Amino acid sequence: MEALQEVAWLSVAGALLASVTFGGAYLFYRLTDNAAVVDAVWASTLGAAGVLYAWLGSGDVGRRVALAVMAGAWGARLGGHLLRRLMAEPEDARYRRLRDGWHSQGWDVRRSMARFYVNQALSVVLLAVPFALAAREPAPASRAWLLAAGGVFAAGWLVEAVADAQLRRFRRRVPHGGVCDEGLWGWSRHPNYFGEWLAWVAFALLALPTAWGALALAAPAAMLYLLLRVTGVPLTEAHLLATRGDAYRAYQARVPRFVPRPPRPHIPA
């Protein structure tokens, strides 16, 4: 029970952090009418929660240092990438679709968006549970286990960073449409999401050999569900099918959806 008490205490600290950051994000949305700020705030707050838990936790120093480095690197890179995109591009079409859907159902858009932001803040607290489990574990971490978690994290961080950079270069070269099938995007339709999921597998591995560590497996499972079934792949592909049409359908036929592997041969129509 002592372990769960400290996890709960750390989660309260995370909830306070999320309340401040998402409250500020919602204010930004009301002032600018750009809801995509929530993406950058979500990533940055999650990364910051990992660093905060590593600082406040009472567990093994080696595991807490690994947590701070991994969570901080993940949140800083992804949050920075999304913030740059927010400042350089129009609002992500996913949020326009969300508002249109709420409006068509007769819902109050402002209240619905406020609930959406609250749910995003709650997701930060829940997804940060592996951070809390790792931060409070007093038993010394196995060097081999830390290396395994760090290796999976490095692979995921690198895949996501390279995929984002390749897509950014493609958009600069082909600013008005086209389907990026270069580099990692020729092996997976969503290599950035795959890299993100690997990072969450690494966070779970960091917390797994701890008291109640099995709870950490819920985070990568939830992330996989969200990416494949809710906010990631479905919304992205719906937008690309609407804007790229047959070119994207041909891309779907050749390139795997998630896990990278060699594409199928192109078959001329």
109-131 pLDDT, tens digit per residue, is 999 999 999 999 999 999 999 99
Tokens representing 191 are: 């290599």
Residue 214 has pLDDT above 80, yes or no: yes
In a domain, 14, yes or no: yes
Tokens representing 197 are: 């999921």
Say how many domains are in the chain: 1
pLDDT in tens, 50-98: 999 999 999 999 999 999 999 999 999 999 999 999 998 888 878 888 8
In a domain, 150, yes or no: yes
Residue 269 has pLDDT above 50, yes or no: no
10 CB-near residues (< 8 Å, 6+ apart): 53, 56, 57, 131, 132, 135, 136
Residue 163's Cα: distance from chain center in Å? 14
pLDDT in tens, 221-244: 999 999 999 888 998 898 899 899
**DSSP string computed for 134-187:** HHH--SPPPHHHHHHHHHHHHHHHHHHHHHHHHHHHHHHHSTT-----SGGGGT
In a domain, 259, yes or no: no
Range of the domain at 79: 2-254
For residue 266, the model assigns a pLDDT of 61
For 242, the enclosing helix (H) or strand (E) is helix 233-244
In a domain, 263, yes or no: no
In a domain, 218, yes or no: yes
- For the chain, the distance separating the N- and C-terminal CA atoms, rounded to the nearest angstrom, is 63
Residue 1 has pLDDT above 70, yes or no: no
Q: Give CB contacts under 8 A, 24+ apart, made by 7-10.
A: 7/129, 7/132, 7/133, 7/136, 7/212, 10/53, 10/56, 10/57, 10/131, 10/132, 10/135, 10/136
Phi then psi for residue 104, to 5 deg, are -65, -25
Tokens representing 233 are: 């792949």
In a domain, 195, yes or no: yes
pLDDT in tens, 239-266: 899 899 999 999 999 999 999 999 877 6
In a domain, 242, yes or no: yes
pTM metric for this prediction:
0.91
**DSSP string computed for 51-87:** HHHHHH--S-HHHHHHHHHHHHHHHHHHHHHHHHHHH
pLDDT in tens, 129-187: 999 999 999 999 899 999 999 999 999 999 999 999 999 999 888 877 789 999 999 99
Tokens representing 128 are: 């940060």
Average pLDDT in the 96-101 region? Answer: 86
Q: Is the backbone of residue 151 left (phi > 0), alpha (psi -120 to 50) or beta?
A: alpha
In a domain, 97, yes or no: yes
